[in-house]
């Protein structure tokens, strides 16, 4: 690898969907650990050792993960796909001039807006939402429910040495290096002392990150909603589809791109209906008893 290139601009903090607005609980129940990296052996680098295209690279690796785990067939993401998304953000980008004026990185929200409008590798997402980075349990739940999420981190100079050593990334108060975009898809909620918590894909390798790193250097996190999610049980259990459609409508003024059908009620109408049925049965028995005794 020639170098470790960065390229994430600061967040623009425009209005966006908030994941917390359509979770089925404040933070839905989720496993103590989850690993959505294990099946993929060849992560994409797509020029991030030469260009500041870490944002589109992280998106490309997210598509690799989602397509393989949820659809069973991994998307064939190419360098041209990554450059096409990068060029939407930077229209003057020229791969012949790495580091030139057009090689200006991305802010994650603008990149996701353009992917939503124009697609990526022939596929458009349905939407995207911001994760509350102050709540690491919500970050872990998002990984469990969505399979992976895009993180925007601010790296320090010490992360160069930590990367070369194979990780983990840990907070150490060294000088700032710059902004970077990575894919998260593995976590453990109860790490042993010194063990990594959330793991990420950066520069085509997996690196752990500690809680201290996440608490001090994680700057933004995004879930991306794809067609494949809507049929997946973990997504259906973790996401309130009616609330998602309502939040999308309030933000955009439009209906969610595809119809969403809430999970069917329990047989018999659920707990409230069970109570009503029981009460009706008791009243009927009392009326029958009174009738037999002549009252």
Q: Which tens digit of pLDDT belongs to each residue from 168-192?
A: 999 989 999 999 999 999 998 765 5
Tokens for 148? 């992976």
The verdict on residue 174 lying in a domain is yes
Looking at residues 13-20, what average pLDDT do you find?
A: 97
Q: In this predicted model, which residue has the larger pLDDT, 267 or 177?
A: 177
Q: Greatest CA span in the chain, whole angstroms? A: 99
Beta carbons of 32 and 192 less than 8 angstroms apart: no
The answer, yes or no, to whether residue 196 has pLDDT greater than 80, is no
Beta carbons of 8 and 179 less than 8 angstroms apart: yes
**Alpha carbons 73 and 230: distance in angstroms, whole number:** 17
Q: Which tens digit of pLDDT belongs to each residue from 88-116?
A: 999 999 999 999 999 999 999 999 999 99
The verdict on residue 12 lying in a domain is no
The verdict on residue 1 lying in a domain is no
- pLDDT the model gives residue 190: 64
Reported as a pLDDT band with limits 50, 70 and 90, residue 120 is: very high
**Alpha carbons 247 and 264: distance in angstroms, whole number:** 21
Residue 59 DSSP SS3: helix
Closest CA to 182 of 208, 151, 211, 158: 151
The verdict on residue 80 lying in a domain is yes
Percent pLDDT > 70 in the chain is 85
> If you search the block for the tokens 């429910």, which residue do you land on?
145
Beta carbons of 152 and 181 less than 8 angstroms apart: yes
Looking at residues 23-45, what average pLDDT do you find?
A: 90
114 lies in the same domain as 84: yes
210 lies in the same domain as 255: yes
77 lies in the same domain as 148: yes
Reported as a pLDDT band with limits 50, 70 and 90, residue 3 is: confident
Residue 34 DSSP SS3: strand
The verdict on residue 4 lying in a domain is no
237 lies in the same domain as 279: no
- pLDDT the model gives residue 29: 79
Beta carbons of 260 and 227 less than 8 angstroms apart: no
Q: pTM for the complete prediction? A: 0.86
> Torsion over CA of 235, 184, 135 and 17, rounded to 10 degrees?
-60
Looking at residues 63-81, what average pLDDT do you find?
A: 96
282 lies in the same domain as 184: no
As a whole number, the mean pLDDT across the chain is 88
127 lies in the same domain as 251: yes
Q: What are the helix and strand counts (H, E) for the chain?
A: 10, 8
Considering its fold, how many domains does the chain have in total? 2
**Alpha carbons 167 and 210: distance in angstroms, whole number:** 10
> If you search the block for the tokens 């150490």, which residue do you land on?
172
Reported as a pLDDT band with limits 50, 70 and 90, residue 290 is: very low
Looking at residues 190-211, what average pLDDT do you find?
A: 83
Closest CA to 115 of 153, 178, 63: 63
Q: How far apart are the first and last CA of the chain?
A: 92
The answer, yes or no, to whether residue 130 has pLDDT greater than 80, is yes
59 lies in the same domain as 39: yes
Reported as a pLDDT band with limits 50, 70 and 90, residue 270 is: very low
- pLDDT the model gives residue 27: 81
The verdict on residue 192 lying in a domain is yes
User: HSE-up of 286 (CA within 13 Å, CB side)?
Assistant: 6
116 lies in the same domain as 173: yes
DSSP 134: T
The verdict on residue 7 lying in a domain is no
Indicate which CATH number applies to the domain containing 31.
3.90.70.10
177 lies in the same domain as 294: no
The answer, yes or no, to whether residue 285 has pLDDT greater than 60, is no
The answer, yes or no, to whether residue 201 has pLDDT greater than 50, is yes
| Residue numbers of the domain that contains 65 | 17-264
- Give 3-state DSSP helix, strand, coil % of the chain, rounded to 5: 40, 20, 40
- pLDDT the model gives residue 188: 86
The verdict on residue 10 lying in a domain is no
């Amino acid at each position: 690898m020639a170098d470790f290139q960065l390229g994430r601009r600061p967040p623009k903090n425009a209005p966006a969907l908030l994941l917390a607005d359509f979770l089925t609980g404040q933070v839905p129940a989720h496993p103590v650990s989850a690993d959505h990296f294990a099946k993929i052996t060849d992560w994409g680098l797509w020029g991030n050792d030469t260009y500041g295209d870490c944002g589109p690279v992280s998106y490309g690796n997210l598509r690799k993960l989602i397509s393989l785990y949820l659809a069973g067939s991994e998307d064939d993401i190419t360098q041209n796909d990554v450059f096409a998304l990068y060029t939407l953000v930077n229209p003057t980008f020229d791969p012949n001039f790495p580091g030139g004026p057009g090689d200006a990185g991305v802010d994650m929200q603008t990149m996701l807006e353009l992917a939503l409008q124009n697609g990526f590798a022939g596929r458009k997402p349905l939407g995207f939402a911001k994760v509350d980075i102050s709540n690491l349990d919500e970050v872990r739940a998002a990984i469990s429910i969505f399979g992976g999420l895009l993180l925007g981190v601010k790296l320090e100079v010490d992360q160069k040495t930590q990367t070369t050593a194979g990780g983990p990334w840990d907070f150490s108060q060294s000088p700032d290096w710059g902004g970077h975009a990575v894919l998260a898809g593995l976590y453990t909620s109860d790490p042993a002392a010194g063990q990594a918590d959330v793991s990420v894909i950066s520069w085509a390798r997996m690196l752990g990150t500690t809680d201290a790193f996440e608490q001090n250097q994680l700057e933004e996190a995004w879930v991306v909603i794809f067609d494949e999610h809507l049929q997946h049980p973990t997504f259906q259990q973790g996401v309130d589809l009616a609330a998602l459609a309502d939040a999308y409508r309030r933000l955009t003024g439009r209906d969610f791109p595809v119809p969403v059908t809430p999970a069917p009620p329990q047989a018999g109408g659920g707990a409230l209906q069970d109570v009503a049925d029981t009460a009706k049965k008791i009243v009927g028995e009392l009326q029958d008893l009174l009738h037999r005794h002549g009252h």
